[in-house]
Structure 1
Amino acid sequence: MSGFSFGPSILFCPADRPERYAKAAAAADAVILDLEDAVAPADKAAAREHVVESSLDPATTIVRVNPVGGETAREHELDLVALAGGPYRVLLVAKVEDPAQLDHLQEAGYSVIALCETAAGVERAFEIARHPAVVALMWGAEDLVASMAGKSSRFADGPRAGQYREVARYARSRVLVAANAAGKVAMDTVFMDIADLVGLQVEAEDAVASGFAATACIHPSQAAVISMAYAPSAEESEWARAVLAESKVQPGVFRFRGRMVDEPILRQARRIMG
């Protein structure tokens, strides 16, 4: 979607807490007003009213709507009724499992961030990413594991404590590759341990090194850590400037600071330079 900022830090904000909207928008590069999991069923109607009455920048505001079909079909319909004609045109659609679920959103002119957070959604990520309405993919670890009757996405103890289990790593990689293969934005999921900013930093640094363009978060304190992790270091910026300058006088493959440089390496340098 032209003109929309996708991060790198994207902060979830419960839609039934309007007093937090401005703070969330100020803390991160983009904000997600959450009408789904963050809001109890009895509070969803009021949450929709709060979203409609808000005045955040549409260029940095996403609305997470309830899933299409199933038990939440009516909630999804009510979300769209409330948002119709409003300024917020980017929707994070929960639990997408079939690209056909997004046809009505394309017809309504929405841009969609498809959240692949079930076994079916992860397995169809490549098809979902190619839907014309989709501008980005995000994945979700806990809902994915729950959809398979699992217990947790991370190891609780032992030498791998805090690390993702293999099934979560598979889903993360699959959604990342699917998004990039379709030329769409890849967004990493939230880091649930709010107090562990070091763990968040490590995971965010891995995300940007792997090819994600943004990382979602659940607390304002996490946004700054994510933005810092995605920002190139002084050394990376210097290397990128230098190798790009060298490429202008050495066309084709060349040796630079002991490393062979070809077009994929130059693409990395261009990405660092923005």
Structure 2
Amino acid sequence: MNRAEVDLPGPALLFCPADRPDRYAKAAERADAVVLDLEDGVAAEHKDRARALLVAGLADLDPDRVVVRVNAPGSPWWDADVAAVREAGVRLVMLPKAERPEDVEALAPARVIALCETAAGVLAAPRLAASPSCAALSWGAEDLMADLGGAASRRADGSYHDVARHARSQVLLAAAAAGRPAVETVHLDLDDLAGLAASSAEAAQVGFSARLCVHPSHVAPIRAAFAPDPAAVEWARGVLEEAERTPSGVFRFRGRMIDEPLLRQARAILRRSRG
């Protein structure tokens, strides 16, 4: 499956606690998709109430722009969450701490964004991406650090430790190999819009298709970062038009050698511009 054929809302996917139905519509309006969160965004004593509120509130939302994050497999709420999203006809589910393809497929007929945020989950990323129920892969640095017994995902200068960068790359590679989109994790510093913009631009450049976010102020920088600039779009159109006129598989365009890998990059730029 080509990643362009996967119907994934984006580029900005905004979390909203499932026990706050008063925020559902606002979050959906401000982002490309709302992630109604039954997991980390809801305290344990409110899980059952949040599930009921979510099911009741889904009728007022566009089902193609709603993702529901359930609780992790093996948690006390897993079975009830699976039953609820299936009964409600949720189309896109986010699976935290994904480690087994069987858990991805347990959510069928919904498609699943599998979060690789444990050591076992990162190592299982290729198998998760290969599941017919998998819509995309994502990852989570903080849960991964907790699973590893680490103290922090980032160095003092703000850059990720090598193990986090490795996990991120592993998830991106596994998604691409299976033809699935990869979704970048959240930027937790709410006021660091410059850092968010820079890291989102880098994520788009290396092949991530969308990004998770936890605050409405992060939506605009993410959208801007994932939208190719006009010069890149103009180059992509020009090089693809030249390829149609040139019978050779390798040709010169504006002083640069062009071959199939660069043509694929050009097609990706145009897909992002249309998105």
TM-score range, shorter chain: over 0.9
Q: Are residue 8 (structure 1) and residue 4 (structure 2) matched? A: no
How far apart in 1 are the matches of 2:183 and 2:46?
A: 28
Deviation for aligned residue 1:268: 1.1
Contact 1:5–1:30 at 8 Å: present in 2 too?
no
Between 1:143-152 and 1:124-133, the stretch displaced more is: 124-133
Deviation for aligned residue 1:3: 8.2
Query: What SS is found at the alignment partner of 2:88?
Result: coil
Q: Which residue of 1 aligns with 2:50?
A: 47
What is the total number of aligned residue pairs between the two structures? Answer: 265
Alignment deviations for residues 81-123 of structure 1 (CA, whole Å, 9 cap, x no partner)? 22232132211011011222233223xx121111100011001
Q: Are residue 249 (structure 1) and residue 245 (structure 2) matched? A: yes
Q: Which residue of 2 aligns with 1:121?
A: 121
Q: Which residue of 1 aligns with 2:93?
A: 91
Q: Are residue 227 (structure 1) and residue 223 (structure 2) matched? A: yes
Report the RMSD for the aligned CA atoms in angstroms.
1.5
Q: Are residue 165 (structure 1) and residue 168 (structure 2) matched? A: no
How far apart in 2 are the matches of 1:148 and 1:113?
A: 22
How far apart in 2 are the matches of 1:88 and 1:196?
A: 33
Query: What SS is found at the alignment partner of 1:32?
Result: strand
Contact 1:116–1:125 at 8 Å: present in 2 too?
yes
Q: Which residue of 2 aligns with 1:80?
A: 82
How far apart in 2 are the matches of 1:82 and 1:96?
A: 19
Deviation for aligned residue 1:272: 1.3
Contact 2:6–2:180 at 8 Å: present in 1 too?
no
Deviation for aligned residue 1:209: 0.4
Q: TM-score, normalised by structure 2?
A: 0.93
Query: What SS is found at the alignment partner of 2:87?
Result: coil
The correspondence for 2:214, drawn from 192, 211, 218, is 218
- AA aligned opposite 2:37: D
Q: Which residue of 2 aligns with 1:66?
A: 71
How far apart in 1 are the matches of 2:240 and 2:6?
A: 27
- AA aligned opposite 2:115: L
The correspondence for 1:193, drawn from 189, 192, 197, is 189
Contact 2:86–2:107 at 8 Å: present in 1 too?
no
Q: Which residue of 2 aligns with 1:267?
A: 264
How far apart in 1 are the matches of 2:125 and 2:25?
A: 33
Unaligned runs of 5+ in 2: none
Query: What SS is found at the alignment partner of 1:163?
Result: coil
How far apart in 2 are the matches of 1:3 and 1:86?
A: 22
Deviation for aligned residue 1:4: 4.0
Alignment deviations for residues 46-95 of structure 1 (CA, whole Å, 9 cap, x no partner)? 111121111211101000001112xx1x3011112222321322110110
